[in-house]
Amino acid sequence: MDFGYTPGHSVLHDVTFEVAPGEVVALIGASGAGKTSIVSLLLSYYDPDAGEVRIDGHRLGRFDPDSARRQVAAVLQEPMLFNASITENIRYGHLEATDAEIQAAAAVAHAHDFIVAFPDGYDTVVGPRGSALSGGQRQRLAIARALVKNAPVLILDEATSALDPGTDTKLLQSLRAASANRAVLLVVHRYSTVSYSDRVVVLERGQVVEQGTQDQLWPLVVGTRSSHRAREALPAIRHVPIRPAHYSR
- Local structure of 25: helix, strand or coil: strand
**Calpha distance 60→71 (Å, rounded):** 9
* CB burial readout 19-57, b (16+ within 10 A) else e: beeeebbbbbbeeebbbbbbbebbbbeeebeeeebebee
Q: What angle do CA 229, 233, 238 make, to 5 degrees?
A: 110
- Local structure of 200: helix, strand or coil: strand
**Which tens digit of pLDDT belongs to each residue from 45-85?**
898 999 999 888 888 877 777 777 788 999 987 889 999 99
The answer on pLDDT for 130 being more than 90 is yes
Helical pair 99-108 and 165-177, crossing angle rounded to 10 deg: 130
Per-residue pLDDT, 190: 54
Please state, for a pLDDT cut of 90, what percent of the chain lies above it. 52
Better pLDDT: 190 or 144:
144
DSSP string, 119-154: TTGGG-B--GGGTTS-HHHHHHHHHHHHHHHT-SEE
**Calpha distance 137→112 (Å, rounded):** 10
**H and E: helices and strands count for the chain:** 10, 10
**Calpha distance 157→147 (Å, rounded):** 14
- Secondary structure letter of residue 197 according to DSSP: -
Nearest CA to 199 among 183, 182, 211, 187? 211
Q: Note the pTM of the prediction, 2 decimals.
A: 0.83
Task: Assign domain 3-71+151-247 to a CATH class.
Answer: alpha beta
**Which tens digit of pLDDT belongs to each residue from 89-120?**
999 999 999 999 999 999 999 999 999 999 99
Asked if residue 60 lies in contact with residue 53, where contact means CB atoms within 8 angstroms, the answer is: yes
Domain assignments of the chain as residue spans, ordered by start = 3-71+151-247, 78-142
CB count within 10 Å of CB 239 equals 8
The answer on pLDDT for 220 being more than 70 is no
- Local structure of 101: helix, strand or coil: helix
Nearest CA to 35 among 172, 158, 197? 158
